[in-house]
Amino acid sequence: MIVIAKSYDDIQQRYIAELRALLPEVKAWWSDIVAADTFDVVSLIWPTGISGHPRFLHVFRTHYFEIENLNRKNEHEFVEGAEKSPEEKWGVDDLGDSPRYVGHIDLLIDDIPSKAPDLTEVVNGFVFLPIGLDQDEEIC
């Protein structure tokens, strides 16, 4: 059963809350990892640092797919722009209104330093998307 969130803001708020809930436990784990070996060895095994922890990746993936589902739901709903006067339209190609769409990276990475500065280290480590395509070219 696919559950579709009601808003992008709701998804982002739950994402921040889940990352914050995991942060103390994962930081303790990371401290143990760093204390047990040299920086060179740790960086070879965990090149993305604390962000590579599977629980952080799971939270990212969960909310990525929620955004994807909401974007698909909204792809037929259009954001209406302000009506322009005929003079403003003259000589300008107008493709019409744009569908409601929010970028996954905007909500899950780019916005986080300003909305949850305590999570900056975590989201800055997401240097690749833990998302792929299956044989039918569907995201997985």
Q: What is the pLDDT along the chain (140 residues), one digit of tens a residue?
A: 566 678 899 999 999 999 999 999 999 999 999 999 988 899 899 999 999 999 999 999 999 999 999 988 887 765 566 677 777 767 676 555 555 778 899 999 999 999 999 999 999 998 888 888 888 888 88
107: domain range?
1-78+99-140
93 found inside a domain? no
Query: What whole-number distance in Å separates Cα of residue 9 and Cα of residue 70?
Result: 11
d(CA 128, CA 87): 45
Residue 88, domain member (yes or no) = no
- Centre a 10 Å sphere on the Cβ of residue 56 and count the other Cβ atoms it contains: 23
Domain total in the chain: 1
Q: What is the pLDDT of residue 94?
A: 59
Q: What is the pLDDT of residue 67?
A: 93
pTM over 0.85: no
